[in-house]
Structure 1
């Protein structure tokens, strides 16, 4: 029987607190193979760094922000997953748009390849060099310029950390329209450059709709002021959209204006256990119908995903073991109203037999603890070894089918195959973990996972972008005519191809 909201809330057992989940590559791990060797990539026709280039960069930034020590650069050469590695010899840390402009002007004239980098939390190899590209780190461009509380608009530099922005706007009764597990490390510029989705997309939509304006620097150093402080600015081509999701291949985003919704006063999170995906889907559809405007997040977690989260971080699930779990969040302005809607929804779902067990809470610590179970899954998988991660959009009727198919396909070669993700926007995170990079698994899952997705008319990248790892699979989601147009845009915007080469566009084009 479903128990009243208060008693279910009290049922929540203690979860061990952990204040910091690792959000960057662990230096204690062995370095991965160089990308050029693992993936047999040929270096482009770019110049090599000379001492004269270093001196020129030092004249722009000073020696303290022009870093050439190999040990200091190493972590910037390796991606979050430990899947790809470059060998850049110089790391630049500008503080202003003008410095970025001067750097790119020099690199373009010398035909030096550049890799712009934010928090380096990307999962497709887009934020680190493939060869010896100059790393342009945005981490010192972290100034919050202005918050318009009346209009709900934040203006900031691109190197601001998402969590810091959330804290800043929350003091003014606002919230960021994007929330990610890596929010303690990722940069808002990187979020925009990859058109990151995250946990709040169901409620607030994607960044194409929330970013009001940007400032970006082209490959030749030209500064484009595309800033706007209005949600309605219908003046010709919306050039800002060229840079949102282009992963630094068309220009470097240095500043942006983003719409920040009013923060919700009441929040409830329910952690539910279900016997089957069919029951989970019915519960999700009922949540959309019965919770309506207050439904802000809906996350699927399978048993293997929860297991790795609890095991690797010594956490405790608030309910018993089930094949599937659904994490639902509501956000609204009237706590009594919202709790009544949640209570009625849960009671109806349990009476139908769709939900077998669950717990719900509006208490801050318990809400955070339930979210930790979900947000710790990606890094928990990394702690097991190497992870083949796939971020795909699939029709809800076939959303989970690929997980058991992949389990059978890789067999005992993998430690585990699991699936979790944002069922609210049809985004599945499929993971295949093993002790270390395994070429046999690699050949079994790729290109199969993309062929499978394409047959269902899904997307091979729901929110992580294309980066380096998916370039040759873009054809499964884009027609040749679209790929040709993308190539034309790249040639027009960056004739020398210096901006984040080997990324996004197929390498054989």
Structure 2
């Protein structure tokens, strides 16, 4: 089965490599890279913004070239999974992975100031002055949302209690560290949380939530904080519960390929582990070096392997979830078939932490096939390839265009897997040559080794990071009938004109378009050209306004474009039943009017 990931850009800037497909012609283009110099601040203070060592690549896979470390401020993280995997012969050194680059990761480099200190009991009355409206970042990036006055305000007694459960190291009050957790990856949404909690066990999560529910302290579950819709950061002063410390592999069935692990495990580290066992993870994302499996499940992440292995609904076998009142719901089965009663785990897959916090997961991992082939193709129009483009290469350092100086506007990235490498490659070459003869493909190249294939995929995976460098990004994650997938890109370009640049890329096989509108800064005028048109157009073509990113804060009030009023009300009823005090990830996923008519008005 073939996996197609497709890109499109409005301005052709590159072109075709005129060499026979059998020769590939990539070796001279894909030059090695050297890490850029460390920022003086990082060198002096030993800050975590240093680039990764080239010696820390996972087995069989080189780390991709980094972005502009000095300008963006980034960090390399060594997953705690390594200590838990010692019994399997793996170490932190083996599993070190590159984290996504953050505009505001380093507080000293950030344009945002740290949040205010923790309120004392006497200061609780001033909460509406401090947190009355969500802070707006970059103009119209975040709509103002009034803080729910029913929530309590954090005080010193609360902090003392959390320390009694988690210890001093598990309760973070340092303004710089909390400031990082308050801001989303794009720097678009910023909360004002005063406290970051770092539990290391299900029992600790249970005690934290039971206490927060009794005090009615709002909570934001957080994983790798790689989300794109504002779902993983506070809106106001919610307590942040980050699961990064829960990163242990519990077991792996190397006969059936069933992995059981904690929710804080980084996806790329899990991928490295199961690949060493002869399996692969059923999902692969551009943010795999940072995102955590619990967050992937909470957002029902799709990714690059969706067409081949399906959604997480089909691959997650069991979950352990902590409910809002601290109850631990044990559904951690490893059975392939279990048809006893309601399959409750599916309530939490894609619920974005609004119904409970996922703490453990058992997931089915497919066998790793011995043959993988990757081809990068160029096409003249959408009818030939049903989507294309390679915009990110002009904004990513260390990545060379495999098809330089091209007049073509569409590009297709195809990956096939099989059991016989030479036979599979011959089939792919025959397919491409026939496609070129028929005029469907203008030109293309086939990766000749793993390094070249990885560089092809880095072009696709790095688009989000490249787009952030422009300044402001309006991101829309749409599910649209394939034959209409590119129409909205062209219509959006007509609407915004020269005020912004429109980028369309996505997954042809499952009709998922990532529509990005880029400008130097956020503007109410540009936003008015985009919304509500993008939602109305999608609804008019029977699409979905969220294919895989979730609703978060960005689209909670837009859910009616894709769901009926009856469906939304049923969702709200489930939310009220499972989280009656509404402490879990408030202001997200569901419209306020569905949960509280007073708030909606």
Normalising by structure 1, we get a TM-score of 0.93
User: Does structure 2 conserve the Cα–Cα contact (< 8 Å) formed by 1:194 and 1:465?
Assistant: yes
**Pick aligned residue for 1:457 from 535, 542, 551:** 542
User: Does structure 2 conserve the Cα–Cα contact (< 8 Å) formed by 1:460 and 1:477?
Assistant: yes
How far 1:404 sits from its partner (Å)? 1.6
Q: Is structure 2 residue 102 aligned with structure 1 residue 25?
A: yes
Task: Please give the per-residue CA displacement for 1:466-505, whole angstroms capped at 9, x wherever unaligned.
Answer: 0000011110000000000000000000000000000000
How far 1:231 sits from its partner (Å)? 1.4
Tell me which residue corresponds to 1:497.
582
| Inter-partner Cα distance in structure 2 for 1:301 and 1:16 | 26
| SS of equivalent residue, structure 1 residue 384 | coil
| Inter-partner Cα distance in structure 2 for 1:367 and 1:209 | 28
**Pick aligned residue for 1:259 from 358, 364, 367:** 364
Q: Per the alignment, do residues 411 and 163 of structure 1 end up closer, same or farther by CA in structure 2, a change over 3 Å counting?
A: same
**Pick aligned residue for 1:336 from 422, 432, 435:** 422
Task: Please give the per-residue CA displacement for 1:93-146, whole angstroms capped at 9, x wherever unaligned.
Answer: 000000000000000000000000000000000000000000000000000111
1:197-216 to 2 correspondences below 5 Å: 197-216=302-321
| SS of equivalent residue, structure 2 residue 112 | coil
| SS of equivalent residue, structure 1 residue 508 | helix
**Pick aligned residue for 2:146 from 30, 38, 42:** 42
Once structures 1 and 2 are overlaid, which stretch shifts more, 20-29 or 471-480? 20-29
Q: In angstroms, what is the RMSD of aligned CA positions?
A: 1.8
| SS of equivalent residue, structure 2 residue 377 | strand
How far 1:8 sits from its partner (Å)? 3.0
User: Does structure 2 conserve the Cα–Cα contact (< 8 Å) formed by 1:266 and 1:362?
Assistant: no
| Inter-partner Cα distance in structure 1 for 2:495 and 2:593 | 28
Q: Is structure 2 residue 194 aligned with structure 1 residue 108?
A: no
| SS of equivalent residue, structure 1 residue 381 | helix
Task: Please give the per-residue CA displacement for 1:303-336, whole angstroms capped at 9, x wherever unaligned.
Answer: xxx2343334253211142110000000111112
Tell me which residue corresponds to 2:516.
431
User: Does structure 2 conserve the Cα–Cα contact (< 8 Å) formed by 1:301 and 1:374?
Assistant: no
| Inter-partner Cα distance in structure 2 for 1:311 and 1:219 | 43
Task: Please give the per-residue CA displacement for 1:239-258, whole angstroms capped at 9, x wherever unaligned.
Answer: 00000000000000000000
| SS of equivalent residue, structure 2 residue 592 | coil
Task: Please give the per-residue CA displacement for 1:365-400, whole angstroms capped at 9, x wherever unaligned.
Answer: 000011111111110000110100000011111101
| SS of equivalent residue, structure 2 residue 580 | coil
Tell me which residue corresponds to 1:468.
553
How far 1:507 sits from its partner (Å)? 2.3
Q: Per the alignment, do residues 457 and 15 of structure 1 end up closer, same or farther by CA in structure 2, a change over 3 Å counting?
A: farther
How far 1:9 sits from its partner (Å)? 5.4
Q: Is structure 2 residue 179 aligned with structure 1 residue 95?
A: no
Tell me which residue corresponds to 2:23.
7
**Pick aligned residue for 1:311 from 386, 395, 411:** 395
| SS of equivalent residue, structure 1 residue 224 | strand
Q: Per the alignment, do residues 173 and 9 of structure 1 end up closer, same or farther by CA in structure 2, a change over 3 Å counting?
A: farther
| SS of equivalent residue, structure 2 residue 395 | helix
Q: Per the alignment, do residues 15 and 29 of structure 1 end up closer, same or farther by CA in structure 2, a change over 3 Å counting?
A: farther
| Inter-partner Cα distance in structure 2 for 1:438 and 1:31 | 19
Task: Please give the per-residue CA displacement for 1:137-162, whole angstroms capped at 9, x wherever unaligned.
Answer: 00000001111000110000000000
| SS of equivalent residue, structure 2 residue 361 | strand
**Pick aligned residue for 2:495 from 405, 409, 413:** 409
Tell me which residue corresponds to 2:507.
422
User: Does structure 1 conserve the Cα–Cα contact (< 8 Å) formed by 2:477 and 2:546?
Assistant: yes
1:39-438 to 2 correspondences below 5 Å: 39-44=143-148, 45-281=150-386, 300-302=387-389, 306-313=390-397, 315-320=399-404, 321=406, 322-414=408-500, 416-438=501-523
Tell me which residue corresponds to 1:290.
none
Task: Please give the per-residue CA displacement for 1:326-352, whole angstroms capped at 9, x wherever unaligned.
Answer: 000001111122112212211110110
Tell me which residue corresponds to 2:573.
488
How far 1:7 sits from its partner (Å)? 1.6
| SS of equivalent residue, structure 1 residue 313 | coil
| Number of equivalenced pairs | 487
How far 1:362 sits from its partner (Å)? 4.2
User: Does structure 1 conserve the Cα–Cα contact (< 8 Å) formed by 2:26 and 2:452?
Assistant: no
How far 1:16 sits from its partner (Å)? 5.3
User: Does structure 2 conserve the Cα–Cα contact (< 8 Å) formed by 1:197 and 1:206?
Assistant: yes
User: Does structure 1 conserve the Cα–Cα contact (< 8 Å) formed by 2:393 and 2:401?
Assistant: no
How far 1:425 sits from its partner (Å)? 0.8
| SS of equivalent residue, structure 2 residue 424 | helix
How far 1:424 sits from its partner (Å)? 1.2
How far 1:30 sits from its partner (Å)? 2.4
User: Does structure 2 conserve the Cα–Cα contact (< 8 Å) formed by 1:175 and 1:263?
Assistant: yes
| Inter-partner Cα distance in structure 1 for 2:541 and 2:283 | 28
Tell me which residue corresponds to 1:294.
none
| SS of equivalent residue, structure 1 residue 254 | strand
| Inter-partner Cα distance in structure 1 for 2:448 and 2:283 | 21
Normalising by structure 2, we get a TM-score of 0.79
| SS of equivalent residue, structure 1 residue 463 | coil
